[in-house]
Copies of this chain bind each other. A is one copy, B any other.
């Protein structure tokens, strides 16, 4: 066991997989010598050499597309895109090729590949550095989309992603990269993809969140507890395939669901969760499912961002409204 931040846990997972499997390679803009702008891959190039951990030229479509080529020819690439907002130049490769090569070739080729990038707001960043595009990726057939919320999960989920024979989008909550420290096993372990986790059991309302919003929800729950509200908190962990069962079970118990996420509300993961609530637990709903999400706007620059970002008291406010409905 070691105390790790999310950054360290990801680094550790990469380290273990690089060590164990020579077919794993890690690259992206500044991912080699410098260890990435967030230092997530720090030290790995020194340990595994420039052929296995390296800097790529500045072109996201090529980073992802070469990764696909490698995956088809015996490697297990873990590519890094520098920020959420810079994944879009690679969108065509992701949606038109990475996600489909297995289907296109009717199973002749597999695509064991991970596309990692930091996502989300709350760090006073420039434009394009604060985005939460999980709904875009979750809507694309052939991909899996994973978002950890803690060092332990970051490690266990990433190991599963690298071992997956399907391509995975692995989104890292940059806001809490170093904010949470946790005891994490030094050994290799994995957490199954596609399963949500009930973090806290409760009876009055189900709160579903993921990534950096888990911590905000936990803060809101302190307020809820004071107000006598028992919250069941579910961490999605995997956005696609989404764990309908765990969510439905919880709603059947609580009758209420509040969804917390940073992305713009319309056409979001929040919408899908509301659909699931209806499809799987319609007769149990005692109040309308509620989305507590970003506005349908760009994440504002630092001075405006606090209004956009979802705060614990806003979550509590909506929990209370839903429970009182």
Indicate whether A317 reaches chain B with its CB closer than 8 angstroms: no
A127 touches B139 (CB 8 A): no
Chain B residues with CB under 8 A of A242? 266
Indicate whether A289 reaches chain B with its CB closer than 8 angstroms: yes
Q: Which of A86-94, A180-188, A195-203, A222-230 contacts B (4 or more CB under 8 A)?
A: A86-94
A104 touches B91 (CB 8 A): no
Given A103-B298, A267-B240, also A88-B85 (CB < 8 A):
no
A135 touches B267 (CB 8 A): yes
Contact of A275 among B136, B240, B274 (CB under 8 A): B274
A264 touches B128 (CB 8 A): no
B272 touches A267 (CB 8 A): yes
User: What is the distance, in angstroms, from A244's C-beta to the closest C-beta of chain B?
Assistant: 10
A139 touches B128 (CB 8 A): no
A139 touches B264 (CB 8 A): yes
Query: A272 to B273, alpha carbons, bound, how many Å?
Result: 10
B88 touches A264 (CB 8 A): no
Residues of A within 8 A of B (CB): 85, 88-89, 91-92, 95-96, 100, 103-104, 127-128, 135-136, 138-139, 141-142, 240, 242, 263-264, 266-272, 274-275, 277-279, 282, 285, 287-291, 295-298
28 contacts between A and B (CB under 8 A): A85-B96, A88-B91, A88-B92, A96-B128, A135-B135, A135-B267, A138-B266, A138-B267, A139-B263, A139-B266, A139-B267, A141-B297, A141-B298, A240-B267, A266-B272, A267-B269, A268-B272, A270-B275, A271-B275, A274-B275, A274-B279, A275-B275, A275-B289, A275-B291, A277-B278, A278-B289, A279-B288, A282-B287
Supplied contacts A135-B267, A274-B278, A278-B289, 14 more A-B pairs, CB within 8 Å: A88-B92, A88-B95, A96-B128, A135-B135, A139-B266, A139-B268, A141-B297, A141-B298, A142-B298, A240-B267, A267-B268, A270-B275, A271-B275, A279-B291
